[in-house]
Amino acid sequence: MTDDSRIKQFEQMASADPDNELGHFSLGRAYLGAERFDDAAVSFARVVELNPKMSKAYQLLGEALDGAGKRTDAIDALTKGIGVANELGDRMPLEAMADKLRSWDAPVPTYETPTAEAEAPAASGPSAAGFRCCRCGRPDGQLEKRPFKGDMGEKILANVCNGCWREWIGQGTKVINELGLALSSKEGQDAYDQYMLEFLQLEEV
Ligand SMILES: [Zn+2]
């Protein structure tokens, strides 16, 4: 698929379902790939508006703003992103954003460095509510609401933590990009669901 047709497909996804952060995230990535930095910045700004806790989107927003020649705004986005990533313990985007700020000689906000305790799942067993993420085994960080309607949304709410769900959103975007999945078709949707089940280890739940 060419960049242009890919972008058209994601533009359709984003406008068909304007409150779906995944659509805007995918579109932003496609714009970024085509070096349409201003457009990418608009898409990622929409993602963080819809989901202020998606740390990876701040990272890409910063990249897009910098590409568009807006270094000050880029620094602002990454600084916010580091705060979010720090709060959620998203190590990879956190380090990437901190490295980027350092490379610009911009101040890097202080953040916690992980401890062995924070990295390991809690040893004290399931939380009072009995939630334990089926992918990472953590007893905390349950989603506050189902991510979409239907049985699958309920299943994810009951079994997948917020961190793993957000990781899937990043991964799902890659799957769509790399396979050129058309989510408007049944085959595309089925393939996407299959990857999601595998990634979240939901098959045997
Ligand atoms: Zn998890």
pTM reported for the whole predicted model:
0.62
For residue 166, report the distance from its CA to the centre of ligand 1, in Å. Answer: 9
CATH architecture of 1-120: Alpha Horseshoe (1.25)
The per-residue pLDDT for 129 is 57
For residue 169, report the distance from its CA to the centre of ligand 1, in Å. Answer: 13
Tens-place pLDDT, residues 13-45: 788 778 877 778 888 988 998 999 999 999 999
| CATH class of the domain at 121-205 | mainly alpha
For residue 96, report the distance from its CA to the centre of ligand 1, in Å. Answer: 21
For residue 190, report the distance from its CA to the centre of ligand 1, in Å. Answer: 23
Nearest to 64 by CA among 90, 43, 93: 43
The per-residue pLDDT for 114 is 60
Q: Where are the domains of the chain?
A: 1-120, 121-205
The per-residue pLDDT for 180 is 76
Phi and psi dihedrals of 161, rounded to 5? -80, 165
Report the distance separating Cα 26 and Cα 7, nearest Å.
9
For residue 52, report the distance from its CA to the centre of ligand 1, in Å. Answer: 19
List the chain residues with pLDDT less than 50.
116-128
